[in-house]
Amino acid sequence: MVPTLQQNDVLLVNEFEYRVHAPARGDIVVFKPPIASPTDFIKRVVAVPGDTLRISGGIVYVNGKPLDEPYISQAPSYDLRLAGYGITVDTGNGPQRLNPAQADVPPRALWQAPDRVPAGFYFVMGDNRNDSDDSHIWGFAQLHGRFAAGPLAATKATAQFTGRAFLLLWPLNRLRVLQ
């Protein structure tokens, strides 16, 4: 999440918020990733259920409109599309579809439309877009339930959004509300 967050930053996280309402676009969320990890991840919600998403020429488009992203360290150096009930990423070697055996890309039956984020799923990205282990690599983050696809689907592991990070508390010289 560089430059917004640095390693060893201390944050306050609202762990009750997502019991009352769903995550919103722009939230900085703490969640269990759909890949094996001893710790939760922290990323920014870019697209919510029902949104269309594409990344082209370094610009992220949600519902056809470019996002204003003053918080990122640099524009994405890859293109991405949600289409055909999947996620396709082009890092310069031609478009490659994320494999549901390796990424949390749910089966077609869980999608409401072939080009929209499915219900219960979120597309999350780090603010350091070109060096972030995020949805462009391992698919969607899930709000709750068993993982729909990817390496954890065959396990009893369950998805969970722990909460929304809202305050950078330490170091004191960087104390601020997170946006």
Provide the domain limits for residue 105.
10-177
What confidence category does residue 156 fall into, taking pLDDT thresholds of 50, 70 and 90?
Answer: confident
Structure confidence at residue 2 (pLDDT): 87
Residue 148 lies in a domain: yes
| Residue 168 in domain | yes
pTM beyond 0.85, yes or no:
yes
The reply to whether 62 falls in a domain is yes
Which residues are paired to 140 by β-bridges? Answer: none
Q: What average pLDDT does the chain have? A: 94
Task: Look up the CATH number of the domain holding residue 70.
Answer: 2.10.109.10
DSSP symbols for 49-66: TT--EEEETTEEEETTEE
- Classify 28 as helix, strand or coil: strand
82 contacts 116 by C-beta, under 8 angstroms: yes
Please determine, for residue 58, whether its predicted confidence score (pLDDT) is greater than 90.
yes
Residue 1 forms part of a structural domain: no
Burial label, 67 (beta-carbon count in 10 A; 0-12, 13-18, 19+): middle
Q: How many domains does the chain have?
A: 1
Please check whether residue 125 lies inside any domain of the structure: yes
pLDDT single digits (tens) 29-40: 999 999 999 999
Q: Which two tokens stand for residue 46?
A: 């870019």
| pLDDT, tens digit (0-9, with 9 covering 90-100), for 76-100 | 999 999 999 999 999 999 999 999 9
